[in-house]
């Protein structure tokens, strides 16, 4: 961060680490504003959750500022499946409902807890974590990240639904099961990509 | 951040940049949890707002992780007066009500906007900013920071209610008014410290 | 800093975090040189001080290098009014005269001292600080910053002379005085902008 | 990095971000030396690979220096299963044999390639990646990381063999299969922990 | 590092800190691959060693990723003469042969050791270091750096063979010898530049 | 930098990256003050210059703040011999006299210039640089660094006067001269250490 403001300029015609900046004279308060997290999203994924980002791609004023938000909505039984953020720690605040949440360290130890409306939980940078709505009502959280573009790597999709495919022999050996089980998971997850 | 977890250990008997860490075997999920933002605080300050932090002092697991939250409650007419965070950008999400918010750049330009429930606004790192509830109902926001301990420097209090006092001649010259006006402000703000 | 030199190229036609770089073949020793702090500036501001920067805007070779200088000249009675640098710690060396200096922490504690020719004082990153020449002779300091463009937010001007104006009700509530006092300060500071 | 050397002192009796430092007078060249990667390790894991680290836990002189090495040995058919390093980019150099390697981006795109003795491949920070020896001879690589303690999160083990267990309903929903398949994988991976 | 990948695009027509990025659609696995360290280079320098870099100039995918490799080959008696890397710590792994290696701290203390095939030694960031093959067989090492472009400043060449020349009076005073000795060294080193 | 102030506490009994901090209640304005650069030092070195640091070892308040100063005094003909700072860029302001200054890039290109009272020159991070007083009057500069402890590696002393000694065969090969010349330089520089 080398000046007060470097509002992202996707029209700059040049790609740099982060984004090039708009001319100062074009900056307005709108560049620092976003209304897209105000309402629950419509959850129609197979896992029963929906993530809506409020990062530099939505709020150009966040460029170089190192922070962003997101909102996650969960149906009853909905899961935000195990994933990592390669570039950020996440801290969630429950807007509504109750969730079972957890993260796993590199020493393979799970830290988990149930959290309800108004409560907070931290998922340290880079570690695998998840949230599940085991209640019978919808739930939602607000997430904060110390990156303007934290990235998300959802592990089941990463392993079983990448393009091109991760080879079967990598997956059978990693999970110590046969091609049948691997292909079953692939078939279940693959259509979710389109 | 040089390991998965370095949970703050205020009992370590040593003060370092940030905090020393607890032994790994003492870490539990509670270290990453906080319930203190769940309910509105009781606002009885002269400015009509109350800030409640959810930083490393409250959530020891945040140590070295570079992110934190806070909650601000506003009475009708309440103000979170102009202040800076020396170590963080802030991004707010309106939990309830409507607020007039703004920040001023080092080029002395004000960017301001009215935001209501579910909307987001960004206050870039280190710049003076404020929020005011000009509605007739209470309001509240959730704030996120890219620091586990962002620090807050409330400017009227910093200038007119520090201990020891900032000398009168500094303030009269800075604000280009007389000792009478300066002492009036000092007397109004000073009691608020105790 | 990802190469030896990335000399700022304001003519690059693209705005990035910091500055784009000149072609290597155009770099000369002049890019690392500046003569503009050699002599006292002419102080004719209402506060009796003048700040002259020697940052990346004046010395293009400083781009990506994370350091800069400045010179401040003070008339007798002159004040460098309370301000912050959002992106740097400052360390001053007194070239001439004697100054009363101080900074205020986020715990609202003032640390202050008188310093004279050849002496040094530190103003930690982001904290409000000031210098005043209470002597009867001119004074001057050399300032060093750990940023090539530290930025300066002079608080009285930020609060009372921004464009557009910070609303009166924000200022009356923050300083706990009436519109009369606020408008008086605004009128005193406003003309200094032009 | 705030001095020339801060050699890790595990006996310091205090835990900090990274490690406390040895007294300077106790530092020797041995603190910067390690012989443990000289020979292939004995690979007897179910996946057919063995990772040997040469990080700050083995080379105390690496503390604060932000770099480390590792060696991976692969039997014919051996796999270093999909995993992430939360704190580092990895770059591998093939010492012997031939490997099929790949990483998947957060856009779920696989980049893969076969590499053989003397060739290099890069796995960007935080992204899921793997290497598999599809040849009929042993293989080995030297890995370099831009962290003195990069951490490794092996995903199948993280998801199916953590302690306590990741709940079945998280895994069945994430992988869209039944409890039978999940328990099968758990039973296959669990014994590998002891 | 503000996105998964920012593959260097030397054809971007703009010079920034590091490199501008290629369009995502043009990125391939080849951008993360390099074969140029597979074989020993032909050593015909006067010092008997050859350094081959595998940094962002060779592997465009390394841009923003903060790591790189290099290979050094040594004839019997060959020396990689005393030098610094302004932007990285180095860690070497001996591929073949035996070397006497050392670094000197700012307290002017030499840490040195003999290392042989498969052994590792660390050269802390910015400090002067060297390697010499005192054996009667060729030697080679693989070097890892925590920078995608560490830079190398070979000290004898820097002092005695720069363009334009470092003035004789700087060198005679620094080394406390006469112009004769300085000019002798200059003449010996100068032709090596072309 | 994770709090307002972390004043160095050399008496902490623990060594960490940087320094452990004093208890807040013991901090005074003196911790941010230094008078030791006010007067020229007495120059009696063989090279005719004297460097006086004003870093965290002298000003404990600088700990974690990332900036420091120094003063260099030069006799007529005095040289601050070629050296590097492993952890900082340097920017000098001439207090008195006139100096010939220069730095050399990793591409072995010298950038040099004469600077006089009040003028500024920049020496980029990690690169070899020097200053020489070719005038017939004393000179002095104030130096600023973007590190609280930049470190200095004076190259002639590093190479020819380290303890233990850098082996003769390293130096003869690096400088392409005989043992006689190397030993002559060693004998000239060695006594200067005591």
pLDDT block averages, 10 residues each, chain A of length 194: 92 92 96 98 95 98 98 98 97 98 97 98 97 97 98 97 97 97 94 49
pLDDT of residue C11: 87
HSE-CB at F14 with a 13 A cutoff on CA atoms is: 22
The chain B residue lying nearest A107, using CA atoms, is: B4
Residue B180 belongs to what H/E stretch? Answer: helix B179-189
Summarize chain A as % helix, strand, coil (round to 5).
Answer: 20, 35, 45
Please enumerate in sequence order all residues whose Cβ is within 8 A of that of F140, keeping only pairs 6 or more positions apart, or say none: F40, F71, F72, F73, F74, F94, F95, F96, F97
Instruction: Collapse the DSSP code of E122 into the 3-class scheme (helix H, G, I; strand E, B; otherwise coil) and give the result.
Output: strand
- Exposed, middle or buried: residue A180 (CB in 10 Å: 0-12, 13-18, 19+)? exposed
* C-alpha distances out from residue F33 to B162, C84, C120, D97, D170, Å: 21, 19, 6, 62, 58
Which residues of chain B have a CB within 8 Å of the CB of C104? 153, 158-159, 162, 166
C54 phi/psi in degrees, rounded to 5: -130, 65
* C-alpha distances out from residue A28 to A7, B117, B130, C168, D174, Å: 10, 21, 17, 22, 42
Length of chain E: 194
DSSP states along chain D: --SS---B-GGGS---SS--B--GGG--GGGGEE-TTSSPPP--STTSEEEEEESTTT-GGGTTT--EEEEEEE-TT-EEEEEE-TT--EEEEEEESEEEEEEE-TT-BEEEEEEETT-EEEE-TT-EEEEE--SSS-EEEEEEESSSS---EEHHHHHHS-BSPPPHHHHHHHHT--HHHHHHHHHHHGGGG-
* Ordered structural domains, chain A, with CATH: 10-149 (2.60.120.10), 152-194 (no CATH)
Give me B179's structure tokens: 């000792």
**pLDDT mean by block of 10 residues, chain E; 194 residues:** 92 92 96 98 95 98 98 98 97 98 97 98 97 97 98 97 97 97 94 49
Alpha helices in chain F (DSSP H): 155-160, 168-175, 179-189
* C-alpha distances out from residue D108 to A131, A157, C60, D103, Å: 21, 7, 41, 9
pLDDT of residue D20: 96
CA distance E58 to D121: 12
A93 phi/psi in degrees, rounded to 5: -125, 125
Read off the pLDDT of each residue in B140-145 and give the average, rounded to a whole number.
98
Q: Is C90 annotated as a binding residue?
A: yes
Give me A133's structure tokens: 């709505």
Note whether D47 and A173 are within 8 A (CB).
yes
CA distance B29 to A110: 9
Q: Which chains touch B (3 or more CB pairs under 8 A)?
A: A, C, D, F
E runs forming strands in chain E:
33-34, 49-54, 68-74, 79-84, 90-96, 98-104, 110-116, 120-123, 128-132, 139-145, 153-154
- Residues placed in the known binding site of F for oxalate: 80, 85, 90
Which residues of chain A have a CB within 8 Å of the CB of E18? 17
Yes or no, beta carbons of F164 and E106 under 8 Å apart: no
ipTM here: 0.95
The pTM for the full model equals: 0.96
What's the pLDDT tens digit per position in D73-114? 999 999 999 999 999 999 999 999 999 999 999 999 999 999
* C-alpha distances out from residue C95 to B117, C44, C71, C74, F31, Å: 54, 20, 9, 11, 21
In this structure, the strands spanning F49-54 and C128-132 are unpaired
Instruction: Establish if D26 touches chain E: CB-CB under 8 angstroms.
Output: no
Which residues of chain B have a CB within 8 Å of the CB of C114? none
Read off the pLDDT of each residue in D16-27 and give the average, rounded to a whole number.
95
CA distance D49 to E71: 26
What's the pLDDT tens digit per position in D33-69? 999 999 999 999 999 999 999 999 999 999 999 999 9
pLDDT of residue D177: 96
Instruction: Establish if C193 touches chain A: CB-CB under 8 angstroms.
Output: no
């Amino acid at each position: 961060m080398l000046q007060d403001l470097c509002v992202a300029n996707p029209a700059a015609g040049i790609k740099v680490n982060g984004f090039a900046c708009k001319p100062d004279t074009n900056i307005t308060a709108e560049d620092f504003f976003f209304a897209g997290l105000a309402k629950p999203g419509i959850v129609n994924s197979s896992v029963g959750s929906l993530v809506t980002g409020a990062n530099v791609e939505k709020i150009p004023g966040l460029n170089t500022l190192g922070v962003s938000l997101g909102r996650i909505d969960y149906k009853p039984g909905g899961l935000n499946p195990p994933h990592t953020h390669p570039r950020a720690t996440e801290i969630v605040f429950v807007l509504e409902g109750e969730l079972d949440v957890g993260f796993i360290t590199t020493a393979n130890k799970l830290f988990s807890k149930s959290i309800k409306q108004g409560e907070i939980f931290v998922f340290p940078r880079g570690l695998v974590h998840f949230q599940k709505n085991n209640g019978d009502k919808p739930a939602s959280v607000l997430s904060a990240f110390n990156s303007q573009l934290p990235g998300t790597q959802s592990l089941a999709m990463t392993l079983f639904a990448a393009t091109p495919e991760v080879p079967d022999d990598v997956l059978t050996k990693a999970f110590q099961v046969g091609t049948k089980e691997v292909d079953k998971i692939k078939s279940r997850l693959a259509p979710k990509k389109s």
